[in-house]
Amino acid sequence: GGLVHIKGTLQCERPNADLHNFKGRFNWLDDGAPGVLPVTMNEILLRGTLVKNSNAVYGLVVYTGEETRIQMNNRKVPFKNGAYNSFLNLQIALVGALQLLLCLFFAILSYFWKDIYGQMRYYMAFDVFVEGNYRNPVVYVVINFLTFWILESYMVPISLFVTVEIVKFWQGFVFINSDPYMACSETGEVARCRNSNLMEDLGKIEYVFSDKTGTLTSNDMRLRQIAVKGLVYGSRDVAMERDAPLDNYPQAMEIFDPNMAQVLSDFKDMTAWTKWTNKGGSFAGLRKGSSHRLALEDAEERGVAVE
């Protein structure tokens, strides 16, 4: 009931796209007693927020429609274009601009040439009105500009993009797919190029960062050494996958660490308890309830010590 009688106003910043900060204050009156409550991002629920740990939320709408911060952060998807295509488009634009300037220059120059030298070429009939000989200078320049544009149109090769795509296809689907140095040495599977832009993307790579989780590695993990409570077992020069077959466990363990192999062999042959008691071992040195003592007691109950 008290919430219904609260009257107040919220002063906040103008709509913006900042999703991490909010500045405002709530001026309220409750039974005639004024109060000011600061409003930060901790009290703001953005559009689309799901509240799961509360039964109900009483709030005040701050921004609506296109002024919501989520909506203001929605930007148009930028047009994606390859670096090589962008470079190619720039070169074509430069050639087109050069062709435009040349055609305009030749069209203007042809008009002055007609007045100075064209009169002496009687066979061109510049002194009479015929087709192609326009008395209006603007019309004459425009017509000759279009004429030179057609003559110089070969400066921008129309088949350029087709030729580039053929080259990309040949490099990707022929060179990569048939390259023996890019085939797997174990399975013999060759590389497969599925996009003609692959060569362009590979050419842009300058640095390779790998977390060594299998993306750029073979995910081949080999055991060399292990450390248990500060004791290191094994050797860096050990190569179990090369020196001993993994299906021969005793031989592999002997190669990995002879001391560990002896201990495991004693437990396997059930002689570890005898060797331990012959050296004066007892339960007194083990903490009561510890996993080591419980294991030895369980072994004794099962008759391992007797064996």
Q: Nearest-CA neighbor of 244 among 220, 230, 261, 262?
A: 261
Strand runs labelled E in the chain? 7-12, 24-30, 33-39, 225-228, 231-234
Half-sphere exposure of 24 (CA within 13 A, CB side): 20
Total length of the chain = 307
CB 119 within 8 A of CB 127: yes
Phi, psi of 95 (to 5 degrees): -65, -40
Query: Sign of torsion, CA 128 134 136 141?
Result: negative
Half-sphere exposure of 33 (CA within 13 A, CB side): 3
Task: Give ∠ CA 228-290-282 in degrees, rounded to 5.
Answer: 95
Is 211 a known active-site residue?
A: yes
Q: Rounded to whole angstroms, how far apart are CA atoms 75 and 70?
A: 10
Q: Nearest-CA neighbor of 155 among 90, 102, 108, 107?
A: 102
Q: Which of 31, 179, 211, 257 is catalytic?
A: 211
**Residue 256 DSSP SS3:** helix
Q: Rounded to whole angstroms, how far apart are CA atoms 248 and 252?
A: 6
Q: Is 144 exposed, middle or buried (0-12, 13-18, 19+ CB in 10 A)?
A: buried
Task: Give ∠ CA 201-202-208 in degrees, rounded to 5.
Answer: 115
Q: Rounded to whole angstroms, how far apart are CA atoms 123 and 92?
A: 39
Task: List residues with catalytic annotation.
Answer: 211
